[in-house]
Structure 1
Amino acid sequence: MLVLEASRNLVQNHVYVNLREAHGMIDRIVALRRARASLPIGDGMTKKVVVVDDNEFDISMLRRGLNTAGADIDLIEVNDSGKAVSVISSEEPVLAILDVSMPVLDGFEVLSAVRAHARLTEIRVLMLSGSTSVTDRHKAEQLGVNWYRVKPETLDGYRQLGTEIIDFVHS
């Protein structure tokens, strides 16, 4: 009985130490991601990312995913796709994230208008879609999208997307 209790204590202490080490490693990873995300691009300013989506829930999930991934960005939210090109033009973000399906202008129309402006052609564009349609993906590629993703269905999916966006912005 004494040996069994000693074994349990040893295992519990080992698990506790491993959990403490894991939390320490997670803290270091988050700190490194935040440091990497806050590196200045070009002019020393914090990176601007414009997200155009008529769905507040999708925007909030994207914001949570980016924050969880340690992003230090200025996320500019546009709910009215009719104003998207003007906001992208005035803000000149390093990345524009466009929803495909929106009421005024769809993401394809916004992408086409952005690519038509000589001053905006260098802005990278990520299109997020609820659709898995290959036709939509091909249409986006023909219009000059840099990256096309289907919207995640879970918070973990948005966390992964946030990490991928940080990596994409720094590439």
Structure 2
Amino acid sequence: MAKSPKRLLVVEDNVHDARFVTRALSQTDGTLDIVHVTHADEAVILLEREHFDYVLLDIKMPGVDGMELLKRIRSNEGTSVVPVIVLTSSTNPSDVARSYKAGANAYTAKPSSLSGYRQFAEAFVRFWVENTLPPSGAAHHQ
């Protein structure tokens, strides 16, 4: 029996960065179902309505920022265990610490080149999609 494709929510306000990361991920794993939103409010609505296996999150966004979204994800029973990977331009140690304290599973700086995005995508798929077991509370509810 074929396993259902993994679903990834990309929360990124910069359309160019979003295009780079989604293209690299799609080329690395063509079965990955990727949904992109540009605002945290859109992400909240989608996360309430649909199942996602992972969230790739930029913390530097206008309006409700990624840090606030991360706190909302962790405080919601339905999404509290969904792996959240912060992918952001900030390498500020206080942003890193705040992200982990708020419940991020991983924190990485955005790549500065297309080859960097490919390397990120390959590492993401190898670790999160191919080698990591989902938390028992993250069963599909579709």
TM-score range, shorter chain: 0.7 to 0.9
Q: Which of these two proteins has the greater Rg computed from alpha carbons?
A: 1
Q: Which amino acid aligns with 1:101?
A: K
In structure 1, the partner of 2:118 is 159
Distance 2:47 2:82 in 1: 9
5+ long unaligned stretches in structure 1 = 1-38
5+ long unaligned stretches in structure 2 = 133-142
Distance 2:23 2:42 in 1: 24
| Structure 1 residues 102-143: Cα deviation after superposition (integer angstroms, max 9, x where no partner) | 112111000000001011112000111101101000000001
* TM alignment of 1:81-120, pairs within 5 A: 81-120=40-79
| Structure 1 residues 143-162: Cα deviation after superposition (integer angstroms, max 9, x where no partner) | 11001000000001100111
Q: What secondary structure sits across from 1:122 in the alignment?
A: coil
Distance 1:142 1:85 in 2: 20
TM-score (norm: length of structure 1): 0.72
Matched, 1:80 2:39: yes
Distance 1:153 1:126 in 2: 18
Distance 1:166 1:74 in 2: 12
Q: How big is the shift at 1:47?
A: 0.9
Identity %: 29
Distance 1:89 1:122 in 2: 14
Q: What secondary structure sits across from 1:46 in the alignment?
A: coil
1:134 to 71, 79, 93: 93
The structure where helix makes up a greater share of residues is 1
Q: How big is the shift at 1:89?
A: 2.4
How large is the Cα RMSD of the aligned pairs? 1.5
Matched, 1:69 2:28: yes
